[in-house]
Amino acid sequence: MGNPELDLRLDVKVPMRDGVSLSADIYLPRTEGPFPTVLVRTPYSNNLENLIGRAHQLAQWGYACVLQDVRGRWDSEGDFRPFFDEAEDGYDTQQWIGQQTWSNGRIGMSGASYPAAVQWLSAPLRSEYLTCLVPRVMCNNYFQELIFPGGAFHLNVALTWGMRTRARTAQSIDFHNWTEEFHTLPLAEMAANVGDDVPFWQDWLDHPTEDEYWAPLNVTKKFGEIEVPVLEMTGWYDLYQRRAFDNFNGLRKHGRTLEARDPKLIVGPWPHLLSQCTRTGEVDFGADSKLDLDALELEWFDHWLKDVPSDALGAAPLRLFIMGANRWRDEQEWPLARTDWQEWYFHSSGKANTAIGDGTLSRTLPAGEPADTFVYDPRFPVRTIGGANCCSPHLVPWGPHDQRQVEMRSDVLCYTSAVLDEDTEITGPIKVILYAASDARDTDWTAKLVDVSATGNAINLCDFIVRARYRESFTDPTLIEPEVVYEYTIEVGNTANVFRKGHQIRVEISSSNFPRFDRNLNTGHAIGKDAELLPAHQKVHHSQMYPSRILLPVIPAGSNSTSR
């Protein structure tokens, strides 16, 4: 039986500017309107149980709720081109809602991942009815973060997510041989091996530089066109958290209105699904780590759509969960103004291979030290164990995991600090400056920050990659000269973690993190068409001339959050 308190209107056709109609289910309170509206646009079906449950809650709270299938998915017409139609379709939907008799002309948008992308993409078009946003876990530069992070192909996400969304309805991927599939070469043939072709797969591979193809999807250049307030949510182990802080700072600097320049950002110890339980990966962060994000979202909507007074507006711009200490803290800016930026240098006598090698990490400048060497063979890449991954944790684990099995490989260099004699908080963006050479024309360099406990448990905090040809530019990549030492900057990610007394700080350096990222085949050939695999002989330098190091944002003990 239906809910007598709701007026439910199913499969309402919403016209777009090009004549395509998108399907929406509309949940209205059975009271006198008009109502403020919460809009959710999704490629994952507007008939999902969690969405329906949320729509019922919102309607009972006095909101109209519109759940819409995006173009080319489920009951909506047209062809699905991931992300490319969402700006105009979102705007057209907002205009349509604002003109309905049940609408009071105020719209808030909700949703995580792709349903967050549609918020960011449509906001710069500035519908007069769009009033506020609550995007969760989504980036704003789709080349640099979603498809080619660091210049490497985002293999696990692109393939597993792509297979699920290749047809009009949901597709099961659980019965594929993923070990074999991830190793398929050339990449252009990969998607076809597990079913029907994914039409957008080849488009991605055909545009391996940040060219005009990607320009419509770069919202980082459109913050100045966003005029509505934003409450953003992410997790330290979400694959898009690096860009959440770019969104935060971009709006604060460039937002079109005072409201847009006052965004709020909540960051917990969570993976892509956010606050589902207290445990992420192999770590339980305690009862305080779990937040009722729906309640916080509702408070945001109540203020901006219903003019209900709210303490949220006076809250600190940032609410951060500090791992290790396992507590929440409010902050005013990112990076934190009181940060002590410390350079920690790599050292060894040339045998930093594995965690039991002689690699060390200290604040002393290196001098007269031989380079560390290893062979990166793309036939036997370093396995992804945890991290900021998506979207199939049973295939590729996400979150914090013990890295010791990775750190026993000879192609993983480990630089480890002395045992810490006091708690040390590292909160902020992490950067590695690496001086390295290879005998290949192109190769990859990876970096990972690890917290090593007194028992040896090595928990990953953040990691990233840089593809050598993109070391200077995503628009004009250039191959490297064999045996020439180049400087590489690896933006490892953001974290907030207290390394406890008795722990150690470790940096891992290698050349693969698979299948999170595709394997660099070391040939220098065009991506997607190559099946030749060449081993690369790698050298990581740490000397007075080439001081490889990590830049750590250390927060002084006893320091307080700065005033606003």
Q: Known catalytic residues?
A: 113, 238, 272
The encoded tokens of residue 497 equal: 């973690």
Q: In 10 A of CB 214, how many CB atoms?
A: 21
Distances from the Cα of 50 to the Cα of 44, 45, 116, 235, 358, angstroms:
11, 11, 16, 20, 51
C-alpha 479: how far from chain center: 27
Distance of alpha carbon 243 from alpha carbon 137, whole angstroms: 9
Tell me 348's DSSP state. Answer: -
Distance CA 5, CA 61 (A): 11
Q: How far is CA 238 from CA 113, 243, 281, 386, 491, in A?
A: 10, 10, 12, 11, 15
The structure tokens 């091996």 sit at 193
Name residue, tokens 């005998």: 439
User: In one letter, which amino acid is 212?
Assistant: E
Question: Which whole-number Å values give the CA distances from 450 to 216, 386, 453, 493, in the listed order?
Answer: 36, 12, 10, 12
In 197-307, where does DSSP find H-type helix? 199-205, 241-254, 293-306
State the Cα–Cα distance between residues 492 and 217, nearest whole angstrom: 23
Distances (CA, A) of 543 to 282, 348, 374, 434, 552: 37, 10, 18, 11, 19
The DSSP annotation for 81-143 comes to: -TTTTHHHHHHHHHHHHHTSTTEEEEEEEEEESHHHHHHHHHGGG--TTEEEEEEES--SBII
Do strands 413-416 and 458-467 pair parallel, antiparallel, or not at all (unpaired)?
unpaired
Whole-angstrom distance, CA of residue 469 vs CA of residue 391: 28
Q: Identify any residues that bridge with 323 across adjacent strands, giving them in sequence order.
A: 497
Q: Measure the N-to-C terminal CA separation of the chain; round to a whole number of Å.
A: 52
Q: Containing H/E element for 423?
A: none
Q: How many whole angstroms from its chain centre is CA 252?
A: 20
Label each residue of 504-521 as H, E or C.
EEEEEEECCCECCCCCCC
DSSP H or E run through 21: strand 21-29
Residue 440 CA neighbour count, 13 Å, CB half: 27
